[in-house]
Amino acid sequence: MKKILFLLSVVSFVYFLSGCESSQKLATGSEDEIYVVADSAEYEEVKLALQTAFEIEINTPQPEKLFTLKRVSANRIDKIKNKKNILIVAPLNSGSYTSQYINSIIDKDVKKKLEADSNYILMKYNLWAKNQLVTILTAPTMQELEFKILQNKDNLLYAYQKESDKRLKESLYAPAYERKAIEGKLLRDYGWIIYVQADFKLAVNDSVGRFVWFRRSVGGEMERWIFVHWIDNGSPAYLCADSVKAIRNRMTKKYYRTSDDSAYVVIADTFYTTTEVNFNNHFALFTQGLWDLNIKGMGGPFINYLFYDENSKRVYMLDGSIYAPKFYKRNLIQQVDIILKSFYTKSELSKERYNDLINEIDDSIKY
């Protein structure tokens, strides 16, 4: 999904400051749930607009939603103050319980701003819990509120995705479970790094083919595969949708093969999209799709980044795949995406980080 610049206004809630204490507990709940505080009748009027903004479907290959909305009444807000994702939604002066609640927590200046600026949205991070995002969506009338949601749907989705990624990154990037020895070896030998969790196995390390493959839960019911491939003396001309398909299919035909070597992974023809994104300050192509065996029989979702690095004159392809036929895969895809975003080239690392990883190398260990 295309990432876009987040331009919404971020302000403090004047009457909420007492809720932001250093001793806050971590927000709880599922990453893909958003609690919507709204009166039932008003919620029905903006429900479709909210679903359009947040309940985006992805195919894994089963349809799954990026977020699921769960409505709660304003008089039950204390019950969900510890949740990760919260929306408070009502027209500004409808007289409903939620509208009255909104008016009780904003000051006169903020209210004037809401009445004057149709795109003004209030967001508060770490309001009642750590790593929480609370947004007030309001406008003078119901019609204007619905339009505001639709007008800002991409930015709203991006804000909640970004906060979710931040939370997940903090939970995944645990130094105690980081395999620095492998990271240092890759940095020394190839000039790049990607975060390697303790439970990922280095399945292929092919310097000639310029291909490195990590696997998790090999032979299990919830496998995750990550590969890094690079092309030396590359060019930005590689950055096109046809290149993504051609390069990935070439790599998976060579390396992603069944144990008896009778079949290999290919990109499925359905649910395949490529968009332009910013990947760690590189212009990149982001591809989402489904993989399959050339003889069918198994498959799953994948995500892929293709970009050109000016410093090294290389084209990099970073790819994450999921094989978990019995499980919900939306969160697994997000986890893989967070790991892919840990990729950096040597020139992008601080001297301290570089030396730290190089000092962890132990060539006597078989990875």
What pLDDT, on a 0 to 100 scale, did the predictor assign at position 316?
A: 98
Q: What is the rounded CA–CA span in Å between residue 187 and residue 207? A: 13
Partners of 285 in beta bridges: 276, 306
What residues have CB less than 8 Å from 298, skipping those under 6 apart? 292, 323, 325
The domain defined by 176-358 folds into Protein Transport Mog1p; Chain A (3.40.1000)
Q: What is the rounded CA–CA span in Å between residue 361 and residue 366? A: 11
Q: Residue 23 carries which DSSP code?
A: T
What residues have CB less than 8 Å from 220, skipping those under 6 apart? none
Q: How far out from the chain centre does Cα 261 lie?
A: 34
What pLDDT, on a 0 to 100 scale, did the predictor assign at position 169?
A: 93
Parts of the chain with a pLDDT under 50: 1-20
Cα distances (Å, whole numbers) of residue 68 to 54, 122, 156, 290, 346 = 7, 21, 14, 22, 39
Return mean pLDDT, the chain.
91
What pLDDT, on a 0 to 100 scale, did the predictor assign at position 363?
A: 78
Domain range 14-172, its CATH number among 1.25.40, 3.30.379, 3.30.460, 3.80.10: 3.30.379
pLDDT digits (tens, 9 = 90+) for 195-232: 999 999 999 999 999 999 999 988 788 999 999 999 99
What pLDDT, on a 0 to 100 scale, did the predictor assign at position 19?
A: 47
What pLDDT, on a 0 to 100 scale, did the predictor assign at position 22?
A: 54
What pLDDT, on a 0 to 100 scale, did the predictor assign at position 220?
A: 81
Where in the chain are the domains? 14-172, 176-358
Angle at the Cα of 161 from the Cα atoms of 158 and 163, rounded to 5 degrees: 110
What pLDDT, on a 0 to 100 scale, did the predictor assign at position 365?
A: 66
Please state, as a whole number, how many other Cβ atoms lie within 10 Å of the Cβ of residue 360.
16
